[in-house]
Structure 1
Amino acid sequence: MQWKIFFKLFYLFCSLLPIANLFAEYRAYQYFVTSKYIFPQKIQSVLVTSTLTPEAYISYHGGNDVIAIDLVQTWICQGHTGQKPICPNPIQADLL
């Protein structure tokens, strides 16, 4: 009887072990955003870093009639990132 309990606990321990190795991650995107409205002052594109996908960013900010975006680069941020700013681009950090 004790062996059955031991094997059940051992199986439970072994099945939960891989969970400790899981890490969260998300993708960061960098865009050049340009307004499609004509303004009296000449407005250039703005460099924006976001966690929204290109489709989600356009939809969230008014749609294709309002803004145009050009994807510049993308990278993955590792670990728990709740309520933290977007991680810096690791490629740019390597160049500095």
Structure 2
Amino acid sequence: MSPLKVATPLHRRKIQRDRLLETIDTLEAFEVAQIDDADETEANHFQGCILTIEDDNRRKFTTKNPVIIQAVAQFVNEICVNRLTEIEAGITIPA
């Protein structure tokens, strides 16, 4: 197998890995900032947040419910961590 045929898929996986790490770091930093803010006011740490999901036709779902926002943030984080594990398992150099 040529070196390019080996390197190209590895490079793609590395880019995916980097993007997932960035997303995970962003989510974790967001939650830490929310917890720090909530400590000052003794409120739920997602109180005051807004979650908006928009489709291709510009239809929107928006909520301020902190329970929903926390669940979505945790769910997205779990998906990213699981996907990161899958991608890292696929980053191997053939012998």
The two structures have a TM-score, normalised by structure 1, of 0.28
The two structures have a TM-score, normalised by structure 2, of 0.28
